[in-house]
Amino acid sequence: MASVRLHRDSAIAPFAAVTLGIALFSVMDGLMKNASIAAGAYNAMLLRSLFGTALMFPLWKWRGGQWPDRGAMKLHALRGAVSGAMATTFFWGLVRVPMAEGIALSFIAPLIALYLAAVLLGEQVGKRAIIASVLGLVGVLVIAAGRLGEGNFSDDAAWGIGAILISAVLYAFNLILQRKQAQLAGPIEVALFQTVFVGLFLGLAAPWLAQVPGSRALLDIGGGALLAMVSLMLISWGYGRAEAQALLPVEYTAFIWAAILGWWMFDEPVTLTTLAGVALIVVGCWIAAPRSHIEEVAL
């Protein structure tokens, strides 16, 4: 019986870590939307990177951190560039659309990444992974259709939607890099060097774009940096221990948190179509969740 429990725990642990990481990332999204409204998406992301580096560097050193080899450093730099562009376009768009709608639009990323995993990582796309992703995508479409049908959107909102769709394409590539990165480096190293490279790349435009935000925005950015670092470590740990296709549908749970936070922080209503879509998303994630085959485990 003990061996059955151990097998089940080892199968569920990466799934649970990524699920928690996504939840914390969603809270970070709310804080960063606040900060982006106050200070602009560029300044919010630049300062979040600086705060994140200040948080992670002492932890990395304390855990005996060693300088990455050339291959790992190139991958850190590549993911930092992709993540910087991805996050900045996302928060720029999120200022212009409701949180739940923005997250819904971003959910084309896991579907794209599911097949990128097959091309770039050589993973076989299983039937359960496809069914789970399709269910999740249908759930997102139900929610998006309900929100888009509620009224007309301004030109500013249209630009916001476009920015989030660009971010979603970058996010799909980021998810694949995340899997490769997690196989080369530990969670603390991944979190540190990603935020370092995001800050370096964004810092190139600092002489023209950087501004000092107000104290409230700084608090939001600091909280966002802390949540982002914890989330990165959790997600990196999970992706280092399970295939990308098994974990990608978990990305859809972000909508649940976005709907709750959008209602709580920004007075964005949660509609019946939102609840229907969430139900489909949860079912998709349940299908994708790894399960132990108890009959094959020695008792």
**Residue 152: per-residue pLDDT:** 53
Taken as a whole, the chain contains a residue count of 299
With beta carbons less than 8 A apart as the criterion, state whether 188 and 63 touch: yes
**Residue 276: per-residue pLDDT:** 85
Condensed to tens digits (0 to 9), the pLDDT of residues 105-144 reads 887 776 677 777 777 767 777 777 778 778 878 887 887 7
pLDDT bucket at 219, cuts 50 / 70 / 90:
very high
Classify residue 241 by burial, with Cβ atoms within 10 Å: 0-12, 13-18, 19+. middle
Q: Is the pLDDT of residue 48 over 90?
A: yes
Q: Is the pLDDT of residue 31 over 90?
A: yes
Q: Is the pLDDT of residue 8 over 50?
A: no
pTM (predicted TM-score): 0.79
Average pLDDT over residues 211-232: 91
Nearest-5° angle of CA 130, CA 259, CA 79? 60
With beta carbons less than 8 A apart as the criterion, state whether 129 and 114 touch: yes
Q: Is the pLDDT of residue 89 over 80?
A: yes
**Mean pLDDT computed over every residue of the chain:** 82
**Residue 186: per-residue pLDDT:** 80
Mean pLDDT: which of 1-15, 96-110, 218-232 is highest?
A: 218-232
Q: Is the pLDDT of residue 284 over 70?
A: yes
